Amino acid sequence: MIIVMKNGCTKEQVDHVIAAVEEKGLGTNLSVGHESTVIGVLGDKTRLSVENLERMDGVDRCVPITHSYKLASREMVPEGRRVKVGDVEFGGEKLVMIAGPCAVESEAQIMQAAEGVKKAGAQILRGGAYKPRTSPYAFQGLEDEGYRLLRKAADAYGLLCVSEVVDHADLEVAGQYCDMIQVGARNMQNFRLLRAIGKTGIPVLLKNGIASTVEEWLDAAEYILSEGNPNVVLCERGIRTFETATRNTLDVSAVPVVKENSSLPVIVDPSHAAGKRSLVQPLALAGVAAGADGLIVEVHPDPQNAKSDAAQQLTLAEYEQFTKAVSAVAAAVGRTV
Ligand code: PEP
Ligand code: MN
């Protein structure tokens, strides 16, 4: 259940309502949005009297939430949450553009990538340090050194940076170097990792699992939110289907489904869906047209010789052209790049 406060309610009124709920042994989560103040009630709500709550000063109404996820639900923040990473905001009119190589491979490579994506207008640099590879014999990433080089390159070109954490043992070092932490598709239901990230408060980019439903994805987000970290951005990266023409099937419909059911911003990763350079742009444009709040794209200074995901990474010149195409579609749906 959520308690929607009246417009213009006072802090004292909010505090009173929170105290009344907590007195009954239930948890609360306060969300002060641009247009609404909402108190989420966590726990067994049969212990509460809705009539009594609705009679309290400042309370507008109580709304039951039928989803298993509560804090991530649309009802909790009807106008949609905005997630800030440094001076970049997800969920506003401006799309957030994240770009960079699949993996950080060397200082020269990540520096060149950072320079190129910055020139094309990206705000956040991506680059894997710990790579979750299907084969144990494939390049596994530069590990902690990868985080350090990513930070160095981001700082050199005035970018923010995001990188994946595959194990909660690496969370502390990742938090020292990254502005945002990615939870990859393979770890979407690593609940201990989700809880640990929830405790840090660091902004999170949470990808959908390879074979997960939207509901399971939002439940995963709820793990992070319920630990006190509201800074979650979802990322649709394609799902496994019977289709083999693409690496994964980009679930474009997940974007409006998430928007209807959740308050969290959602971006699209066309690269891991496509698996193939020529398909990255059309899938990205579809994502933006469907309402995505941004894009994360793999870009490499020399894709042919990339140590991972060579077939799907754009060249720096391709990415520059790509952002122009994205701008045109963004403008058509009332967004900017
Ligand atoms: C990645 O973005 O580097 C990655 C491994 O993606 P995913 O988890 O979507 O496969
Ligand atoms: Mn990749």
Q: Which of 126, 212, 272 to mutate to test the pocket of ligand 1 (most atoms within 8 A of CB)?
A: 272
Amino acid (1-letter code) at residue 165: V
- Please indicate, yes or no, if residue 281 is contained in any of the structural domains: yes
pLDDT confidence of residue 3: 95
Ligand 1, closest atom to CA 296?
2
Same domain (yes/no): 13, 106? no
pLDDT confidence of residue 33: 77
- Please indicate, yes or no, if residue 68 is contained in any of the structural domains: no
Do 145 and 174 form a contact (C-beta atoms < 8 A)?
no
Residue nearest to atom 8 of ligand 1 (CA): 184
Ligand 1, closest atom to CA 272?
9
Can you say whether the dihedral through the CA atoms of 111, 113, 114, 120 is positive or negative?
Answer: positive
Residue 13: Cβ within 10 Å count: 17
Number of compact structural domains in the chain:
2
Q: Which ligand is nearest to the CA of 275?
A: 2
Bridge pairing between strands 88-90 and 83-85: antiparallel
Digits of tens for pLDDT over the chain (337 positions)?
999 999 999 999 999 999 999 999 999 999 887 778 999 998 888 888 999 999 999 999 999 998 999 999 999 998 999 999 999 999 999 999 999 999 999 999 999 999 999 999 999 999 999 999 999 999 999 999 999 999 999 999 999 999 999 998 999 999 999 999 999 999 999 999 999 999 999 999 999 999 999 999 999 999 999 999 999 999 999 999 999 999 999 999 999 999 999 999 999 999 999 999 999 999 999 999 999 999 999 999 999 999 999 999 999 999 999 999 999 999 999 999 9
Amino acid (1-letter code) at residue 126: R
CATH number of the domain that residue 142 is part of? 3.20.20.70
CATH number of the domain that residue 55 is part of? 3.30.70.1140
Range(s) of the domain holding residue 13: 2-63
- Please indicate, yes or no, if residue 246 is contained in any of the structural domains: yes
Same domain (yes/no): 34, 145? no
Same domain (yes/no): 255, 122? yes
184 C-alpha vs ligand 1 centroid, how far in Å?
5
- B/e letters for 268-277, b = 16+ CB within 10 Å, e = fewer, are bbbbbbbbeb
